[in-house]
Amino acid sequence: MNRTPHHHPLHLRRSLLSVPAVNARALAKSATLDCDAIIYDLEDSVLPEKKAEARAALIAHFAALDRSDGREHVMRINPLDGPDGLRDLEAALQCMPDAVLLPKVSGPQDILAAADWFSEAGADDGPRLWAMIETAAALLNLSSIAETGRTQGGRLDCFVVGLNDLRKETGIADIAGRPFLVPLLLQVVVAARACGLDVVDSVFNDFADSDGLAAECRQGRQMGFDGKMLIHPAQIAAANDAFGVTEAEAAEAIAIVAAFSAPENVGKAVINIAGRMVEKLHAEQAERLLGKADLINERKKA
């Protein structure tokens, strides 16, 4: 089957839980949770005087970690131009997470600096790089940042939007429905897709508001995001649900794929299914959705 060149569902990234690396209870709990990825945070959730302790805690945690279930383990480091960034990269060499999440990226040079560091450390096949898109500069430079995803041998493979920092820097209001942020969020989605990157929506701070979270997850899915970054275990189910595959969606996808392989439709690029035009591209989209459903079922068994 000829899949589109980008965005094959190699990874489930419905729910990415941030866990402050200094919080021992949260670290322990993270191993028991049903999220697709854990983002161990060394950056904003850790005070400057606790950074060294946080790195040590992560090194110990990774040494004992069971990584057989296919979930991704990601380290969010501090900016490389500050006092902790390089120490965090050293820690990442020991932990060998699936990815290192770079904070406050402002241009392609931030991705290249981290990629070069791993190359020079002899870790060319080391962690992939993910980028926080959370500064005004990053929004201006989206296409050149995303382009490094093509030129660095696939090392960059995911954008994660950070609205707390973006709102702080720009003054854009925090309003339910995110009316003034939606145009920017869509630009991030489009820039990511143009270069074959996954793209993950920002955190929802009010973890007691489950209706608000569900609405924002749905909105993120409709905008094209692969999943949502989360701050609390209580948010995982809503994200898995909104960014998952419903039975109705799976049934429709199966019907589309089946229709194209029916004898009367062989050799056709466009067909009529119950009064709706369905093209070959919809069959490709359906195959991708079914691939994601398979991954979700495998994860449930793990």
Contact positions vs Mg ion (CB under 5 A)? 134, 162, 165
Q: Does 233 bind ligand COA (CB under 6 A)?
A: yes
Look up residue 76 and give its two tokens. 């969010």
Matching residue, tokens 């991704």: 72
**Restricting to residues 26-45, which ones interact with ligand COA according to CB under 6 A?**
26, 29-30, 41, 44-45
CB closer to ligand COA, 2 vs 32: 32
- Per CB under 6 A, which region of 12-20, 93-101, 218-226, 289-297 contacts ligand COA? 12-20
> Which residue in 9, 15, 16, 18 binds ligand COA (CB under 6 A)?
18
Residue 175 and residue 212 in contact, taking contact as beta carbons nearer than 8 Å = no
Tell whether residue 165 is among the known ligand binding residues. Answer: yes
CB closer to ligand COA, 44 vs 147: 44
Q: Which does 299 bind (CB under 5 to 8 A by kind): ligand COA, Mg ion, none?
A: none
Tell whether residue 76 is among the known ligand binding residues. Answer: yes
Closest CA to 86 of 51, 57, 59: 51
- Helix residue ranges per DSSP H, the chain: 24-30, 51-63, 85-95, 108-120, 136-140, 142-151, 163-170, 182-194, 210-223, 236-242, 247-261, 280-301
Q: Which does 165 bind (CB under 5 to 8 A by kind): ligand COA, Mg ion, none?
A: Mg ion
Tell whether residue 157 is among the known ligand binding residues. Answer: no
> Which residue in 217, 231, 283, 286 binds ligand COA (CB under 6 A)?
231
Q: Is 230 exposed, middle or buried (0-12, 13-18, 19+ CB in 10 A)?
A: buried
Look up residue 254 and give its two tokens. 């199966």
Q: Does 150 bind ligand COA (CB under 6 A)?
A: no
Strand-pairing partners, residue 273, are 276
CB closer to ligand COA, 3 vs 29: 29
Q: Is 243 exposed, middle or buried (0-12, 13-18, 19+ CB in 10 A)?
A: buried
CB closer to ligand COA, 55 vs 282: 55
Taking the complex as a whole, the smallest distance from the CB of residue 141 to Mg ion amounts, in Å, to 17
Taking the complex as a whole, the smallest distance from the CB of residue 139 to Mg ion amounts, in Å, to 14
CB closer to Mg ion, 165 vs 216: 165
Taking the complex as a whole, the smallest distance from the CB of residue 49 to Mg ion amounts, in Å, to 19
Question: How many helices, marked H, and strands, marked E, lie in the chain?
Answer: 12, 10
**Phi then psi dihedrals of residue 70, to 5 deg:** 85, -5
Look up residue 249 and give its two tokens. 């969606």
Q: Is 138 exposed, middle or buried (0-12, 13-18, 19+ CB in 10 A)?
A: buried
CB closer to ligand COA, 31 vs 86: 31
Q: Does 78 bind ligand COA (CB under 6 A)?
A: no
Q: Does 79 bind ligand COA (CB under 6 A)?
A: no
Sign of CA pseudo-dihedral 100, 104, 106, 110: negative
- Binding residues for substrate are 76, 134
| Sites of contact with ligand COA (CB under 6 A) | 17-20, 25-26, 29-30, 41, 44-45, 203, 231-233
